[in-house]
Amino acid sequence: MRFKLSYEIRDKYLRKDMLPTIFCPGCGIGTVLQYTLRAIDELGWSKDEVVWVSGIGCSSRVPGFVDFDGLHTTHGRALAFATGIKMARPDLKVIAFMGDGDTAAIGGNHFIHAIRRNLDVTVILINNFTYGMTGGQVAPTTLKGLRGTTAPYGSFENPFDIAELAVAAGANYVARWTVFNYIQGINSIKKALQKKGFSLVEFLSPCPISFGRRNRMKTAPELIKWYNKITVPISKAKNMSPEELEGKIVIGEFVDRDRPSLDEEYEAYKKRAKKMMGWEE
Amino acid sequence: MKYPFPVGKSDFIQGDEAIARAAILAGCRFYAGYPITPASEIFEAMALYMPLVDGVCIQMEDELASIAAIIGASWVGAKAMTATSGPGFSLMMENLGYAIMTETPIVVVDVQRSGPSTGQPTLAAQGDVMQAIWGTHGDHSLIVLTPATVQEAFDMTIRAFNLAEKYRTPVILLTDAEVGHMREKVDIPNPEDIELVYRKLPANEEEAKYPFGDIHGDLIPPMPIFGKGYRTYVTGLTHDEKGRPKTVDAEIHRKLIERIVNKIEKNKKDIIDYETFELDDAEVAIISYGIVARSAVRAVKMLRNEGIKAGLLKLNVVWPFDFEMIEKIAEQVHAIYVPEMNLGQLYHLVKEGANGKARVELIPKIGGEVHTPHEIVREVKKCECGV
């Protein structure tokens, strides 16, 4: 396949009248957006068959920049809205573009239940360890000891591992990369998009302005170096002790399975109902 | 089309059941809910019927998710409903505001119980009037219907869907545990005799470019539903006519919010619905809604027998509110009584409408029991005759 230049992707998929984006210098959201659009492009999907949903925060602005049907909703509720979209129109493909606070804090309950139901949606998750848009408060993903405006002396809480949480709740496909894992990132999104049922691709994404600045990593390159230091490939992590893994973040493909999705289950349920009522054989 | 309940004949059913059947006849094909007394029977009936009519019925993780899901379903073209009671309704406020801001047609049923908080789950109250009208933050308007009988619960559910579709707005069906749980005879019409309204869709690509613009001059933009190739962007942020976020432009915000409010306010005459009883020559008026209005009818008869010229205004819609009509009534009578199952909610609107032209007295009752006609008569007589 010919490698498409960025401006081709931009011209094909972005709403020009919405540009420039609101993203700060060094932010990783645009990169992940590019990966997602490249994945859609490589799959040859039409812009008319995909709906984008988001909650609140920096990452939630993405549906506004792309030329697709899009619902920019309330904080944390993207997957609840997506449930209505997908179940009322199972033929549409749904992408939820979410942030870490969106997913794991205010939306934590919607997140685990959407996975439990195996809602056929692909979550592209921007995890920058912080609440960027509101000015750098700590998130449920903030690693212990890192600073935010609401934990000026360093976070004292245990963070969530969102990918592990998704695996435990029953997702069909879960992968985690940093925004610098270009090929793996795009491939994982492609896999996730094609997967029936719940799929999640989490990206550790730099936020130099709100997060890095408060943690002695003022620029994207400094955050890249930090990600290199703290991430461990899943194959390597398998042979590491819990002590060695302390403070590290595992990256790679966590799960790839094919449990029936919610809309498939509901189709069967409708048939069962009609049969039980004697409406159908 | 085959229905999982009798149509074209009458049936003896609960108010909650009537709401579920009416919703299906109104074309509702997406229901998301979370169990709560005294609204659960709506959900249970929907769970029974929906798969049979190829609709979706899903139990969400909470009320926030329930209303979110129906908004999502509405944007892909489904007529969608959820039902709850006061505590759940409180949780829905965030996304109710979102539905108002994004002009999404949905129906939300609130089968009222007392509060605040969990209150009395199995007993009736009318304490959610202000929450229904003003519960979500910001300047807004929406439509609130108040049935008093099981038949009205049925008829108003169909009307709720029609108004939601016509005005591209959330409609609240504000009923209570008494109406929800009582059984009465309901005439269920033949589906072909029911007049149904469907949202205005964009006539062409050009119209679809303005999902939030007043392109027809009627304040209601056509709704370019998802999946039709229009590629519409919808946000709860202040947005321009094309739907693009414009959060710091005062003029754009004013224009958007005024249109959302005015599409209801300027169509008040079409939306407002009421009944009067012995009001023409009345010297005192009772203004009531929902279950209490039924006691008020009897109270009017009893007061007339005792020589007090009483009349009743029964409101079937509590928002939008016809302040001018209340003022006209206040000019005719010397006192207005507002019996309510709360410590005064509609009372404030009536008092504002009366504009000092007549004395306005609240007849409150809380604890779960409906006012008896005698109680209303006693309070009126206490004020009118000093007994």
Q: What is the DSSP string of B171-228?
A: EEEEEEHHHHH-EEEEEE--GGGS----PPPPSSHHHHT-TTS-TTSSS------TTS
Nearest-by-Cβ selection for A274 from B52, B58, B66: B52
Q: What angle do CA A70, B169, B253 make, to 5 degrees?
A: 70
Min Cα distance A191 → chain B (Å) is 23
Query: Which pLDDT score is estimated for B235?
Result: 98
DSSP B170: E
Decide if A279 and B72 are in contact by the 8 Å CB cutoff: no
Q: What is the DSSP string of A57-76?
A: SSGGGHHHHBSSEEEE-STT
Min Cα distance A160 → chain B (Å) is 20
Residue B138 to residue A10: CA distance in whole angstroms: 36
Phi-psi category of A134—alpha, beta or left, where left has phi over 0 and alpha has psi -120 to 50?
alpha
Q: Give A68's contacts in chain B (Cβ within 8 Å).
A: 231
DSSP-based three-state secondary structure for B7: coil
Residue with tokens 């003896």: B12
Q: Give B2's contacts in chain A (Cβ within 8 Å).
A: 279
What chain A residue is nearest to B228 in terms of C-alpha separation?
A48
Percent of chain A exceeding pLDDT 90 equals 97
What's chain B's average pLDDT?
98
Q: Give B245's contacts in chain A (Cβ within 8 Å).
A: 61, 64, 72
Residue A41 in this model has a pLDDT that exceeds 60: yes
Query: Which pLDDT score is estimated for A2?
Result: 67
Local confidence band at A118 (pLDDT 50, 70, 90 cut-offs): very high
Residues sharing a CB contact under 8 Å with residue B378, sequence separation 6 or more, in sequence order = none
Q: Give A49's contacts in chain B (Cβ within 8 Å).
A: 227
Residue with tokens 């496909």: A173
Residues sharing a CB contact under 8 Å with residue B375, sequence separation 6 or more, in sequence order = B295, B339, B363, B365
Query: Which pLDDT score is estimated for A281?
Result: 83
Min Cα distance B195 → chain A (Å) is 24
Phi-psi category of B231—alpha, beta or left, where left has phi over 0 and alpha has psi -120 to 50?
left
Residue B261 to residue B139: CA distance in whole angstroms: 8
Closest C-alpha to B113, from B373, B355, B341, B346: B341
Q: Give A63's contacts in chain B (Cβ within 8 Å).
A: 233
Which of A22, A50, A69 to mutate against chain B (most B CBs within 10 Å)?
A69
Nearest-by-Cβ selection for A74 from B60, B94, B227: B94
Q: Give B242's contacts in chain A (Cβ within 8 Å).
A: 17
What's chain A's average pLDDT?
96
For the segment A58-75, the average pLDDT, to the nearest whole number, is: 97
Each residue of B53-91: pLDDT tens digit?
999 999 999 999 999 999 999 999 999 999 999 999 999
Specify the amino acid at residue B125: A
Min Cα distance B147 → chain A (Å) is 28
Nearest-by-Cβ selection for A48 from B4, B231, B235: B231
Each residue of B304-358: pLDDT tens digit?
999 999 999 999 999 999 999 999 999 999 999 999 999 999 999 999 999 999 9
Residue A90 touches chain B, beta carbons under 8 Å: no
- Residue A177 phi/psi, 5-degree rounding, is -140, 170
Q: Which is it for strands B359-364 and B183-188: parallel, antiparallel or unpaired?
A: unpaired
Percent of chain B exceeding pLDDT 90 equals 99
Enumerate residues 41 to 70 of chain A having a beta carbon within 8 A of any beta carbon in chain B: 47-49, 51, 53, 61, 63-64, 67-70
Beta bridge partner(s), residue B284 = B310, B335
Each residue of B264-314: pLDDT tens digit?
999 999 999 999 999 999 999 999 999 999 999 999 999 999 999 999 999
Query: Which pLDDT score is estimated for B386?
Result: 85
Which of B44, B75, B205 to mutate against chain A (most A CBs within 10 Å)?
B75
Residue with tokens 């007993």: B123
Closest C-alpha to B265, from B216, B346, B320, B316: B320
Query: Which pLDDT score is estimated for A3?
Result: 80
Contact by Cβ (8 Å): A178, A204: yes
Which of A17, A65, A71, A74 to mutate against chain B (most B CBs within 10 Å)?
A71
Q: Which is it for strands B310-315 and B79-84: parallel, antiparallel or unpaired?
A: unpaired
Query: Which pLDDT score is estimated for B81?
Result: 98
Structure tokens at A276: 């039980």
Each residue of B32-49: pLDDT tens digit?
999 999 999 999 999 999
Residue A1 in this model has a pLDDT that exceeds 70: no
What chain B residue is nearest to A69 in terms of C-alpha separation?
B231
Contact by Cβ (8 Å): A162, A103: yes
For the segment A39-56, the average pLDDT, to the nearest whole number, is: 97
Contact by Cβ (8 Å): A184, A140: no
Each residue of B112-163: pLDDT tens digit?
999 999 999 999 999 999 999 999 999 999 999 999 999 999 999 999 999 9
Residues sharing a CB contact under 8 Å with residue B82, sequence separation 6 or more, in sequence order = B31, B32, B33, B63, B66, B67, B69, B70, B92, B106, B107, B108, B109
Residue A268 touches chain B, beta carbons under 8 Å: no
Specify the amino acid at residue B376: I
Which of B31, B49, B233, B247 to mutate against chain A (most A CBs within 10 Å)?
B233
Q: What is the pTM of this model?
A: 0.98
For chain B, helix (H) and strand (E) counts, in that order, are 14, 15
Q: What is the DSSP string of chain A?
A: -PPPPHHHHHHHHB-GGGPSPSPPTT-SHHHHHHHHHHHHHHHT--GGGEEEEE-SSSGGGHHHHBSSEEEE-STT-HHHHHHHHHHH-TTSEEEEEEEHHHHHTTTHHHHHHHHHHT-S-EEEEEE-SEETTTTSEE-TTPPTT--BTTBTT---SPPP-HHHHHHHHT-SEEEEEETT-HHHHHHHHHHHHH-SS-EEEEEE---TTTTGGGGT--SHHHHHHHHHHHEEEHHHHTTS-HHHHTT-EEEEEEEE--PPPHHHHHHHHHHHHHHHTTS--
Nearest-by-Cβ selection for A92 from B76, B98, B231: B76
Min Cα distance A65 → chain B (Å) is 9
Local confidence band at B13 (pLDDT 50, 70, 90 cut-offs): very high
Residues sharing a CB contact under 8 Å with residue A71, sequence separation 6 or more, in sequence order = A51, A52, A53, A54, A63, A78, A81, A85, B72, B75, B226, B234
Each residue of A17-34: pLDDT tens digit?
999 999 999 999 999 999
How do the residues of chain B divide into helix, strand and coil, expressed in percent and rounded to 5?
40, 20, 40
Residue A77 to residue A81: CA distance in whole angstroms: 6
Decide if B51 and A92 are in contact by the 8 Å CB cutoff: no
Each residue of A196-216: pLDDT tens digit?
999 999 999 999 999 999 999
Contact by Cβ (8 Å): B58, B69: yes
Query: Which pLDDT score is estimated for B297?
Result: 98
What chain A residue is nearest to B4 in terms of C-alpha separation?
A277
Structure tokens at A250: 């595992």
Residue B38 to residue B121: CA distance in whole angstroms: 7
Q: Which is it for strands B28-33 and B274-277: parallel, antiparallel or unpaired?
A: unpaired
